[in-house]
Amino acid sequence: MVRPTNDVILVRYGELALKSRHVRNRYEKTLMSNIKSMLDASGIDYDDLSREWGRIYIHTTDPAAVGAAARVFGVVSVSPAITCEPTLESAASAAADVGESIINENESFGIRARRSGNHEFSSRDIGVACGNAVFERVEKRNPKVDLTTPDREIMVEVRQNKGFVYTDVVNGTGGLPLGTQGKMVALVSGGIDSPVAAWLMMKRGCEVIPVYVNNEPFSDDTMRQRALGCLRVLQTWAPGHPFKAYEVPNGISLDAFLSDCQRRYACIFCRRMMYRIAAGIMEKEGAFGIITGSSLGQVASQTSENMMAETCGIHVPIYHPLIGLDKTEIIDIARKIGTYDASIRPATCCTAVPEKPATAAKCGEVCSEEDNIDVEELLMGALSGAKIIDPCEYS
């Protein structure tokens, strides 16, 4: 028998269910909007989206909608399903149709039943009715009932107004709906780490404002192209939320640090200027923090002492979502989200990196060195040279 055509996708979410009714309602609406944007961006046909307490439904027969919905931040899992009436008879008939199409000779099966709403029957009643119907339909194939480790599982979910029968549960991205946690500025360099950090904060519901700090002439366009490539990939995770990306020149500031300050602090000075630039854009855009790709101890500039010196006197929230991850874990995420290939394209390393960088800088020493130059003037110059870029124009 040909398997019945799935006509709906069940979308489940996790953390949203823990919110107050008012917040949950708002988050669900945002999640639905984001799902619509993802479906539209993927060119998927669907009749409608609907929701009830605890579920969102995508009314479509397009199997590609499963993968698209699973990419939406806030979605915990999805299941392509067939609908039936919320009665034992209808659910049993639908389960039998599905069982007939998937259970082979001598295979075992199990029914996973659940119920919500007001009904005169229990979840156990659903399991018994559907199990009997499936067994009778495929009895000549010598089926076996196994509720522990069956060869085939059939899930039956009867809610107040509809019933659903399905066999697959596809894991989603999880997190919170994009746009529910405000905006943050993400420093994106084009390396492996910073795009992953931005993605993780997007997963927590933050819209990101990407900022690429251009260190030319100490770097060249190859690093810039890597950063833009990463942003193009990240944008595919956020349809309906187009990036407002900035490019800000930092070469003049870096040259001043190298000329008038101790060179071993170059990376720390550069990072402090990046934070100041990001803080300026944060204030302009009404954002609530800065995101970096720092991972504790990964490189010389990311020791605990240096990270403290980098933020001395910079009074804005700075988030390091990768702080406790090792490089292998970060690379695994980069591969999963699609930014890895863009991040490893050939590029020229920054030539301002000192041969022996400081690894245990002190706040007082760093601030004292900065007194040798006019930091505020350099910052104003960098921000005045900032420009908004569209990463997609450079693909």
pLDDT one digit per residue (tens) for the chain, 395 residues: 677 899 999 999 988 777 888 888 899 999 999 999 999 999 999 999 999 888 999 999 999 999 999 999 999 999 999 999 999 999 999 999 999 999 999 999 999 999 998 999 999 999 999 999 999 999 999 999 999 999 999 999 999 999 999 999 999 999 999 999 999 999 999 899 999 999 999 999 999 999 999 999 999 899 999 999 999 999 999 999 999 999 999 999 999 999 998 989 999 999 999 999 999 999 999 999 999 999 998 887 789 998 999 999 999 999 999 999 999 999 999 999 999 999 999 888 888 888 888 889 899 999 999 999 999 999 999 999 999 998 887 55
**How confident is the model at residue 168, as a pLDDT?**
96
**How confident is the model at residue 19, as a pLDDT?**
82
**How confident is the model at residue 358, as a pLDDT?**
87
Kind and range of the H or E element at 176?
A: none
Q: What span, in angstroms and rounded, lies between the C-alpha atoms of 38 and 58?
A: 12
**How confident is the model at residue 18, as a pLDDT?**
77
Cis status, amide bond into 391, omega within 30 of 0: no
**How confident is the model at residue 148, as a pLDDT?**
95
pTM of the model: 0.93
**How confident is the model at residue 69, as a pLDDT?**
98
DSSP per residue, 82-151? EEE-SSHHHHHHHHHHHHHHH--TT-EEEEEEEE-SS-SS-HHHHHHHHHHHHHHHTGGG--EE-SSS-S
Cβ-Cβ contacts under 8 Å for 328 (sequence gap 6 or more):
none
**How confident is the model at residue 250, as a pLDDT?**
95
For 18, which DSSP code? G
DSSP per residue, 312-331? TT--S-EE-TTTT--HHHHH
**Structural domains of the chain, with CATH:** 8-171 (3.30.2130.30), 183-394 (3.40.50.620)
